[in-house]
Structure 1
Amino acid sequence: MSSRELVVLGTSSAVPTRHRNHNGYLLRWDGQGFLFDPGEGTQRQMTYAGVSANDVHWICLTHFHGDHCLGVPGIVQRIARDKVRHPVRAVFPASGETYWRRLRHAAAFADTAVISEHPVSGDVSSVGPVIARRLSHPVESYGYRVQEPLGRRMLPEKLAAHGIRGPEVGELQRTGSVRGVTLAECSEPKPGQSVAFVMDTRLCDSVFELANGVDLLVIEATFLSSEAALAKEYGHLTALEAGLVAADAGVRRLVLTHFSERYGFDDEPAFVEEVRRHFDGEVVPARDLTRVPVPKRRPTASQVRPGQASQDPAK
């Protein structure tokens, strides 16, 4: 099983259908679980997906429309009932704190102290590895990006050339230099992986900033472009716009979701066709309970063989 993957729990927008539950997305990330926008029914969808309350370390809400948050009471009470012991951080728009407290304490239950609250505000905010940017929607809404820091890949041939071996390698990584040899002389940058989560918004600068260069973009495609005027009025994206964002931002794998109830599985080819007008990379029209791996790391310069283009191995 991939240590970095998206578990799709629900893919509908305002109204669930026979085949699509309200929103819900769990990003597995090196032992951490980021639960985005748990809509109504998320607790049951987690059971179907083989996900437990102990897999949740973060609850990230983009905004407080019901299809993005009405699953919070069940998730919170399940965390309490299952006696989850690790910290769970809740990230949400500060302007909706009243709604958060109503959801957090929606019914009588034996409460838990493991959940800490981290309201975000302003145009850009961050909590640990989570970056939040304000979007354009009738109510205040934020998109999120999970970003791994830039790392360094050690180059064995450079280490050998400088006679650095054994414990000295660790010292070089910790301190940045050994015997006058710097870390930069024996390593190369290793880009950190990233995932962006963009829901309920019109096109705006923040959408492109969140998506810039990500390995995996999970983005709403509520409507086809034939409903572009409706999408703009209600603060949503079309599949065509999702493809434009992916192409402009250099996204590696694109996941479409948050489909209007007017569309069924038979309409998925139309969504992909619209995306293809701009984006020629990998497209996944999400369905409930599917799993989407985060693409493997891009090869660094030293990993590209002579005569081989540095291309995305996932394409």
Structure 2
Amino acid sequence: MSTRELVVLGTSSQTPTRHRNHNGYLLRWDGAGLLFDPGEGTQRQMILAGVAATDVNRILITHFHGDHCLGVPGVIQRASLDRVPHPVYAHFPASGAEYFARLRHASAYHETATVIAQPVRGPGVIARARFGRLEALPLDHPVEAYGYRLVEPDGRRMLPERLAAHGIAGPRVGELQQAGRLRVGGRTVTIEEVSEPRRGQRFAFVMDTRLCDGVYALADGADLLVIESTFLEEDARLAHEFGHLTAAQAGRVAGECGVRRLVLTHFSQRYTDPSAFAAEARRHYAGEIVVAEDLTRVPVPPRRRLAAET
């Protein structure tokens, strides 16, 4: 059975705390591993979470503030130490290419892993892979920043009862999926007769930003939205000044964009009660809210039938 889940490696903002490491989020998606914003200490958090270097296929950096990238040296060096056999692609704002080069070669080591830098030079699709397409959209932060979105292609769900009614089973199901039609008992059965539309799943990752068009575009229809909520609404002025969101704003985005599961993270150390973030977001969003904690796992919600979606 395929696994689609978020492994939370760190949830603090600029300053880590005794209970919250700098950022780090691994999205497991059908055998692929996408590591977002590895902050300082990510390599150790991976060990504690049971994440191996071989689990990482892509590194995605939203921007080059330390709490989102200072873990890059350890992660990349560990990939070489463990002789990761597959290429690791790294996506990051093109304006920070020099920072990435410095982080990648922050110290001497024997380089055996293949790391392929793919700077993001503007909005749009940055990669296509078997899991779908990766998109990047600009955010509004004091330095260049991008949010990321994974979009699985739409497909079709085969309906066992209809397949059985037409006498289609075993390898012939695969033939029908490949060709779109199949000759059975003197007539042609089309795939539309034995299946229903299946909407591809979507994951969105939004870090340090003020509210902007990119936030809403990334979150639109997301099954799982990971979004910063650095401040509470009482400090909305500070949030805007420093280029961040409040929990209330994150909740409004989720509510307006039809998000199915909302993950709040990137908390300022000034707050001691994590439940306050959920309470604030709840005023604007009726769906499931997860206040992220280090080393926890958040599953991507199971699929819904297309007919049940609005």
State the TM bucket, normalised to the shorter chain: over 0.9
**1:13-28 equivalences in 2 (<5 Å):** 13-28=13-28
Asked if 2 retains the 8 angstrom alpha-carbon contact of 1:200 and 1:237, the reply is yes
Structure 1 residue ranges without an equivalent (≥5): 302-309
Question: What secondary structure sits across from 1:43 in the alignment?
Answer: helix
C-alpha deviation, 1:259, in angstroms: 0.5
Matched, 1:251 2:255: no
Q: Counterpart in 2 of 1:78?
A: 78
C-alpha deviation, 1:123, in angstroms: 2.4
Matched, 1:142 2:146: yes
**Structure 1 length as normaliser, TM-score?**
0.91
CA distance in 2, matches of 1:79, 1:113: 6
1:201-229 deviation line (CA, Å, top 9, x unaligned): 11111111111111111100000011111
Q: Counterpart in 2 of 1:222?
A: 230
1:15-54 deviation line (CA, Å, top 9, x unaligned): 1112111101111111111110000011111111111111
Q: Counterpart in 2 of 1:4?
A: 4
Which of residues 279, 283, 289 is equivalent to 2:289?
283
Letter in 2 for 1:17: T
Give the share of equivalent positions with the same residue, in percent: 66
- Higher mean C-alpha displacement, 124-133 vs 231-240: 124-133
1:122-145 deviation line (CA, Å, top 9, x unaligned): 122321232111111111111111
CA distance in 2, matches of 1:25, 1:114: 21
Aligned length: 302
C-alpha deviation, 1:290, in angstroms: 1.1
- Higher mean C-alpha displacement, 172-181 vs 6-15: 172-181
Which of residues 147, 152, 177 is equivalent to 2:181?
177
C-alpha deviation, 1:184, in angstroms: 2.1
Letter in 2 for 1:244: R
Structure 2 residue ranges without an equivalent (≥5): none
CA distance in 2, matches of 1:109, 1:165: 54
Q: Counterpart in 2 of 1:297?
A: 303
Q: Counterpart in 2 of 1:304?
A: none
**Structure 2 length as normaliser, TM-score?**
0.92
Q: Counterpart in 2 of 1:36?
A: 36
Question: What secondary structure sits across from 2:118 in the alignment?
Answer: strand
Asked if 2 retains the 8 angstrom alpha-carbon contact of 1:2 and 1:293, the reply is no
Q: Counterpart in 2 of 1:131?
A: 135
Over the aligned positions, Cα root-mean-square deviation in angstroms equals 1.9
Letter in 2 for 1:154: M
Asked if 1 retains the 8 angstrom alpha-carbon contact of 2:2 and 2:31, the reply is no
Q: Relative to structure 1, is the Cα distance of residues 280 and 62 closer, same or farther in structure 2, using a 3 angstrom cutoff? A: same
CA distance in 2, matches of 1:214, 1:247: 11
Asked if 1 retains the 8 angstrom alpha-carbon contact of 2:230 and 2:244, the reply is yes
C-alpha deviation, 1:168, in angstroms: 3.5
Asked if 1 retains the 8 angstrom alpha-carbon contact of 2:85 and 2:113, the reply is no
CA distance in 1, matches of 2:259, 2:239: 23
Which of residues 277, 280, 283 is equivalent to 1:274?
280
Which of residues 198, 201, 212 is equivalent to 1:190?
198
